[in-house]
Chains A and B, each alone.
Chain A
Amino acid sequence: MEAAKKSAGEHAASWVQYLGMTVAMLGGATWPAPKWSIVAVGILILCAGILWARRARASTTAQSAEGAREKPLDYARQRVTEALERTRALRATAESAELTAIAAGAEAIVRECVEAVAKAQEAIAAAHGFNAYAEIMTPFAAGERWLNRAWSAASDGHRGEATHSLDRAIEHIERATRAG
């Protein structure tokens, strides 16, 4: 899932915000003192743009929610579960597998699972609030760091540290599956 795509309404609202910012800045640039009335008009236009963007976003969210209200969060949970299964599988073979295979496996989990959840940040936050995203991502990102360490250790030829790092990654990703 890509980051939440902006609708045409949201794009138009962004331009209204930039217009408001421009007007306010021009009001602030006059000599010798800012023209406060122009600044105020600019901020009003900016606020109008913000409100329009929120309505447009709410409308987009409502439309998508008609189909599946829990979709972004479900998607994130699926990726976390997938990451857990793949990390466990990697750990199960880590004692005897080629070190290059351990590094490649860890890198693939980060790229295909962790980054996928990170990219869904806006969608999750829009549908469920940033805290919902943070609850999942905090332990998941810690797991990601241990996967990165497994990559480094495997690349350095240190099997013991690589397997230990996979163990720690599993602990954190398990916490992520229980979050949210």
Chain B
Amino acid sequence: MSSETPEAPYREITFAGVALGVVVGVVMTVSFTYAGLKLGFTVPASMVSAMLGWGVLRGLLKKGSIVENNINQTVAAAINVSSAGVIFTVPVLYLFQAERARGAASVAASAQRAGQSIEQYVASHPELQSIDPKFLWAMAGASVAGALLGVLFIIPSRKQMIELERLVFPTGVATATILKASASGARRARMLMWGIVSSVLFATFVGLPGVVKGLPWPAIEDFSISERLHLPAWFAITIAVSGGLTSIGGGYITGRAGLVLMVGAVIGHWIVTPAVVTQGWLPDRAWLDVVARAGSDVDAARTVLSAHGEHCRAANTCAELVAVGQQLASGAHGHAPRETANTVLGAWAYRNVTRPLGVGMLLGGSIASVILTAPVLLAAIKSVRRARAQSGSKKGDGPEELDPKLMYTGVATGFVILVFAAWMGVRAVGTDSIGVGSILLASAIATAWMWLANIIVSITTGKTDNSPLSGMALITILLILTALGRSEAGVMVAMVMAVAVCVATGQGSDMMQDLKTGHLVGALPRRQQLTQLVVAWVGPLVSLVTLFILAKKFVLGNDPLTAPQAQAIKAAIELLAPAPDASVAQQALAEATRLRYAVGAAVGLTLTLGVGGGLGVVLGLSMYLPMSVTLTYFIGCVITVLTEKRFGKEWVEERGVPLAAGWLVGEGLAQVVLVGVDLARVAAGGR
């Protein structure tokens, strides 16, 4: 604990704190734009920047305060969080452009001259995926609009989610633990450090083989218990290894309240997915025949696959089944043939059945949550106005929340920027198939959905630390393409709106995490909200510029920048909004997916309206998430219950929570180190 200082003003928003946050945020945004394109996920900057904050503000400058460091982490996280929204969506444009190049006669001729396949030729010529800079301007506008609206839409929910419902926000709690560590007593600080050190070592050990080739141990993503028990792969009992301590730490901090998450996982992964496979609720039952035969008569299975593969190819569908069929037919598979087929069938059922049901449930549950909490939300907004009138009259603290007039102006500005971005996008496509009226309609739909999606993501983050950003982007695309139809310009507008929603939901949930941290250290909400609003636009632009530069060197969708999330969104566009000339099978799959959203929404709506407490949202999320994440998180919750029972509540608060917070922090730090190693390797000419 610090000794007493002369009575200078208490440091909160300072140049040093903001500048440090900007530097850390920009560096992490650049790093995680690259890492996210490679791995498909990013890491929040808040905990890392809070740790650096102590080193710089108090260690070097000798004058940092807890709430000043809180502003530093708010700024860094506000900048870095947008990288996820950008890398999940914008690369889709590059992927479509590369696909166009593959179909071009000139490219085919060049590939032939070079003695390469078209695929190889496109993969080695990044210029073929280059897109008109107008598209990037449209995306820049969308992401800035999203950043602005995301922060503003979530501010009125602060009292509801943090002060009344008291959602956990595990990352927010972990960040607060770091901010308070120096003054929390030696035991808590020691446990935090133990957590950080053990987590850094573990995550580096697990992640290093993915960066440095030739190490004597393999990269391990998950530990499959199903495989050890010789259960079929579609009955997933999997524990996350990479990111495992983060999930356990998040679960531990959430505690008993997180146990219910497992119910949704059991229904989704142990009942629905197996039922789809075993009952043959698939586009083509011939696959079951393949699985049945693969165990005993591999040659017969290969014969079926061979014939069936041709059928699939002709129908331009079930591409992944074809791929495995080819693997089986050639014998080039790592597992037994039956397991290979089971793995693919399980993945198909999870992606096309369980996950859409979960997304629908999230949607229905959130709509019900909004209906149920509307009166209290309105009361909270009124209390913001009342508090504004009452506070600030003395002692110069000012109002607690941002000025409502500023918020309304900001929302209007964000909407105008969004409309402008969509208009730019349509202009870049070069058609006049979509007029201003349609652009206004799409912007209005996206803005309304953005508000709801922001609440959905903030609730799921608050309850579990997981945010279904890509699911929200998919629904945006579905909504816009349903409204505008599937034309080139329609897809462009849908992409603009998806970028805006993805960035907005990221910003909104980050704002709530930061406000939770702020609540725990006694920061003034208005100062945090203002700071986040001022810097929120920086991150998307840094991420876009980084992406633009990377796309000059690498072809996205290929090693090393496979852009997995963007590939999934591109596949979803093709699935949810098939072109008019799409095959019957594709159109049937699209229709089935939409109906599953509807079924999930009906269940989520009924459950949440009837039971309350956001139950539909939590169960929907656990059907949406992979089993490895939910099961590992559940283990963390169980450990809390057991340790509380064995050692008592004080032990959990004094030792368990700081240790779990350290695990969360350590994974983030290790990822920063691994990305740094990878960037250095790429800069030195490695790929």
Contact = CB atoms under 8 A, between A and B. Distances in A.
Interface size range on B against A = 35 or more
Contacts of A121: 164-166
Contact of B602 (A24, A147, A153): A24
A148 B599 contact: no
A17 interface: yes
B376 A130 contact: yes
Interface stretch (B77-85, B239-247, B276-284): B276-284
A122 to B, nearest CB: 9
A145 B519 contact: yes
B522 A150 contact: yes
Interface string B508-532: 0000000000011111000000000
A118 B521 contact: no
Given A43-B606, A160-B10, A138 B159 contact: yes
A170 interface: no
Nearest to B611: A50
B607 A21 contact: yes
A168 B376 CA distance: 24
Nearest to B521: A152
Contacts of B521: 148-149, 151-152
Interface in B130-189: 159, 162-166, 180, 182-183
B442 to A, nearest CB: 29
Contacts of A21: 267, 603, 607, 619
B1 A155 contact: yes
Nearest to A36: B599
A131 B376 contact: yes
Interface stretch (B198-206, B451-459, B588-596): B588-596
A25 B163 contact: no
Contacts of A26: 271-272, 275
Helix, strand, loop or mixed for chain B's interface? helix
A94 interface: no
Contacts of B588: 32
Interface stretch (B18-26, B86-94, B379-387): B379-387
Interface in A139-180: 141-142, 144-153, 155-161, 164-165, 167-168
A119 B572 CA distance: 42
Given A46-B607, A156-B66, A159-B7, A28 B600 contact: yes
B611 A53 contact: yes
Contacts of B65: 152-153, 156, 158
Interface in B363-392: 375-376, 379-380, 383, 387
B4 A47 contact: no
Contacts, number: 173
B164 A137 contact: yes
Contacts of B383: 138
Given A138-B380, A152-B180, A28 B281 contact: no
B608 to A, nearest CB: 10
Contacts of B10: 153, 156, 158, 160-161
Contact of B180 (A131, A145, A150, A155): A155
Contacts of A30: 279, 281
B595 A34 contact: yes
B66 A43 contact: no
A148 B522 contact: yes
B183 A155 contact: yes
A34 B522 contact: no
Contact of A152 (B282, B522, B596): B522
Interface string B239-263: 0000000000000000000000001
Interface in B599-634: 599-600, 602-603, 606-607, 610-611, 619, 623
A34 B166 contact: no
B610 A50 contact: yes
B606 A47 contact: yes
A134 B165 CA distance: 9
Nearest to B613: A122
Interface of B: 1-5, 7, 10, 65-67, 159, 162-166, 180, 182-183, 263, 267-268, 271-272, 275-276, 279-283, 353-354, 357, 375-376, 379-380, 383, 387, 395, 397, 400, 519-523, 588, 591-592, 595-596, 599-600, 602-603, 606-607, 610-611, 619, 623
Interface of A: 17-18, 21-22, 24-34, 39, 42-43, 46-47, 50, 53-54, 99-100, 103, 118, 121, 130-131, 133-134, 137-138, 141-142, 144-153, 155-161, 164-165, 167-168
21 contacts: A18-B263, A21-B619, A24-B599, A25-B272, A25-B357, A25-B603, A26-B272, A28-B596, A29-B353, A32-B591, A33-B592, A99-B1, A118-B166, A121-B164, A141-B519, A145-B519, A146-B522, A150-B522, A152-B521, A155-B1, A155-B183
Given A155-B1, A157-B1, 12 more contacts: A17-B610, A18-B263, A18-B267, A29-B276, A43-B606, A99-B1, A150-B522, A152-B180, A156-B66, A156-B183, A161-B10, A168-B397
